[in-house]
Every structure is written in structure tokens, then in C-alpha cells.
């Protein structure tokens, strides 16, 4: 296994389109195709240079005005697929991380072995083992008429390095933070269902998905929810609108312990928002639900596994 460290960090929201465009140009040039790079990319035009984080629309329910189809994420299927890469091995005693994504029509077919490409910190017995994960996620997400609950215990999203992202609960139904020392400095841990992420944290002492400086500067692209909408870091920019209203249930039923309070934070009940150009995305937060509060888009719940949780 390789111990090479590291490929460049993953793209921020502003850089994502430039990142994949450059990658596709390189592929075309290598194949002997001519590429016209003189045409201005809409993502970098002078009329579209406003900071995305300062002009947003937030609704109690995810906005029905959010863009759908390929304009919902601002990327084509091929461009999104190009984002699923690892930075190489970060743990000499683990299998090398593997992830790949291809397009089947408008669907992303993602496969991975679930091994992180950042430092693994043991918080429970046993090390992550390579698994055979496969995800099928639309690249043309559509806002649903009603939100859908995320699984109580199971995969709710996938990171760009192929590691599964779970909701805020553990097997007990309680909040993952009710188990002292359960998570590493990066917000992930190994368990009976394999290695997975509950929170997207950063650390000055441990190599995580992102550095504290990166997430403080601007939202960074973490991965994609199973409904096809992107997930960005947001703990330094946004606050959740969920509040702890019954502390007695925190360790046994974290969804019942929390209530969505419209307007109390920056994000909607799914922990997302629609920006000025109609693009919807989820944002990680320092407090519950940490990543996703519910699915705003049309989603096949059975693809996530586990029982239903979330808004009640």
C-alpha cells in the first residue's frame, strides 16, 4: 500500500467548476482533441463574481424556486464525476482508499472501498476494513414537494473520497455526541457498519478532510447527498435552525430532543439554503443536525438503508 501524501485539497464551492473544467480540458488535450479555451466560463464571468456566501435565500421549507436539473448544482454529470477522487493513502496500516465515479445517463455511479484519505484516529476497537460500496445518485436533482427523513442509522450521503456520511444518530437513537470520545477530531469513526462520517470537523493537529484555515475561508465541497444535492462545509459561515429543546432525550432520541425553529439560524430544516442563482446545497454546522436535517430533493429512501429519522 502507498504512503504518499497528498494530492491537492478538494475544491471550494467557487473553485469546483474551475477544477473540473481544467481536468476535462487536460483529458481532451491528452486525447489529441483541440480545445477552445477562449470562451469565458459563466462561473468566472464578471457578472457572476459575487461571493456566494453573502447573497442567499433561506426558507423554512427548502425553496421550491431552487433550480432543477443540471443547473441545480452548476455542474454536468461528467464534471461532478471528476470530483470523486482521493488524495492518496494517509494511513500506512490501512488499505489504500479507492473511489471512482462514472455517468450512466444522468445518474452518477459511484464505487468506493470506504477507506478515508485522511488520518484515521482509533476511537473504538478495530480498524476500517475495505468494503464494496456502490451509490447511484442523480446529477440532475429536483426539489421534492415534501422533505424526506434521513435514516436513523445508515448512509445519508457520500464524501468525495467515497466515505459514507451518516446522520446525527448512533445505534442507540441518541445523538452521536452523547457518546463521549466516539468521534475522532475529524468527526468520523469506525463501527459495526464500517467507517463513516457523522460530522465534518477540522483540526490543527490531525489531517482531516480540510484544514481549519480552508473551512474558515469559504465553504468547501464535502460530497453529495443521496438526493443529488451537494454538501459544503458551513460551520464557520452558517448556523443551524435546530435547537435542543429536551435535553433528557439527547442520549436516547436526538430527533425528539431537538426542534426546528424557523428563523433561529441561517439554514432551513434540512440544513440547506438556496443561493442567489437558485442553487440549493446543504451545509455542515457545529450543532445538530451537523450535516443533513432531511432530504430536500426527490430521493429513493431505500437507497440510504436504515430506518427513517429526522423531522416528525
Q: Is the pLDDT of residue 60 over 80?
A: no
- For cell 431505500, name the residue: 302
Kindly indicate the confidence band of residue 68, based on its pLDDT and cuts at 50, 70 and 90.
low
- Domain positions in the chain are 70-301
Counting residues of the chain whose pLDDT is more than 90, the rounded percentage is: 59
CA distance 80 to 96: 22
Q: Is the pLDDT of residue 110 over 50?
A: yes
CA distance 262 to 45: 35
Kindly indicate the confidence band of residue 63, based on its pLDDT and cuts at 50, 70 and 90.
low
Q: Cell triple for residue 70?
A: 443540471
Instruction: Among 39-48, 79-88, 188-197, name the one with the lowest average pLDDT.
Output: 39-48
Give the three-class secondary structure for 208: coil
% helix, strand, coil for the chain, step of 5: 20, 20, 60
Enter the pTM of the model. Answer: 0.80
Q: Is the pLDDT of residue 243 over 60?
A: yes
Q: Cell triple for residue 40?
A: 469565458
Helix or strand holding residue 13 (H, E): helix 13-30
Q: Is the pLDDT of residue 261 over 60?
A: yes
Amino acid at each position: 500500500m502507498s504512503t504518499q501524501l497528498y494530492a491537492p485539497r478538494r475544491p471550494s464551492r467557487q473553485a469546483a467548476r474551475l477544477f473540473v473544467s481544467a481536468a476535462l480540458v487536460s483529458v481532451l488535450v491528452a486525447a489529441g482533441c483541440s480545445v477552445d479555451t477562449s470562451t469565458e466560463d459563466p462561473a468566472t464571468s464578471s457578472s457572476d463574481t459575487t461571493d456566494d456566501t453573502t447573497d442567499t435565500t433561506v426558507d423554512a421549507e427548502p425553496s421550491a424556486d431552487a433550480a432543477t436539473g443540471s443547473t441545480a448544482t452548476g455542474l454536468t454529470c461528467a464534471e461532478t464525476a471528476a470530483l470523486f477522487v482521493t488524495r492518496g493513502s494517509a494511513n500506512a496500516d490501512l488499505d489504500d482508499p479507492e473511489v471512482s465515479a462514472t455517468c450512466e445517463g444522468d445518474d452518477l455511479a459511484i464505487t468506493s472501498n470506504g477507506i478515508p484519505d485522511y488520518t484515521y484516529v482509533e476511537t473504538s476497537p478495530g480498524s476500517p476494513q475495505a468494503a464494496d460500496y456502490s451509490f447511484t445518485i442523480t446529477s440532475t436533482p429536483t426539489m421534492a414537494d415534501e422533505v424526506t427523513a434521513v435514516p436513523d442509522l445508515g448512509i445519508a450521503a457520500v464524501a468525495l473520497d467515497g466515505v459514507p456520511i451518516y446522520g446525527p444518530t448512533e445505534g442507540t437513537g441518541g445523538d452521536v455526541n452523547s457518546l463521549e470520545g466516539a468521534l475522532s477530531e475529524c468527526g468520523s469513526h469506525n463501527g459495526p457498519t464500517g467507517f463513516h462520517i457523522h460530522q465534518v470537523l477540522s483540526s490543527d493537529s490531525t489531517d482531516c478532510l480540510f484544514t481549519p484555515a480552508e473551512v474558515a475561508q469559504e465553504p468547501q465541497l464535502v460530497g453529495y447527498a443521496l438526493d443529488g444535492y451537494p454538501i459544503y462545509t458551513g460551520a464557520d459561515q452558517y448556523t443551524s435552525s435546530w435547537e435542543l429543546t429536551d435535553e433528557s432525550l439527547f442520549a436516547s432520541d436526538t430527533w425528539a430532543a431537538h426542534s426546528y425553529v424557523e428563523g433561529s439560524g441561517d439554514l432551513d430544516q434540512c440544513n440547506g439554503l438556496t443561493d442567489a442563482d437558485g442553487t440549493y446545497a446543504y451545509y455542515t454546522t457545529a450543532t445538530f443536525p451537523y450535516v443533513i436535517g432531511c432530504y430536500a430533493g426527490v430521493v429513493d429512501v431505500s437507497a440510504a438503508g436504515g430506518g427513517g429519522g429526522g423531522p416528525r
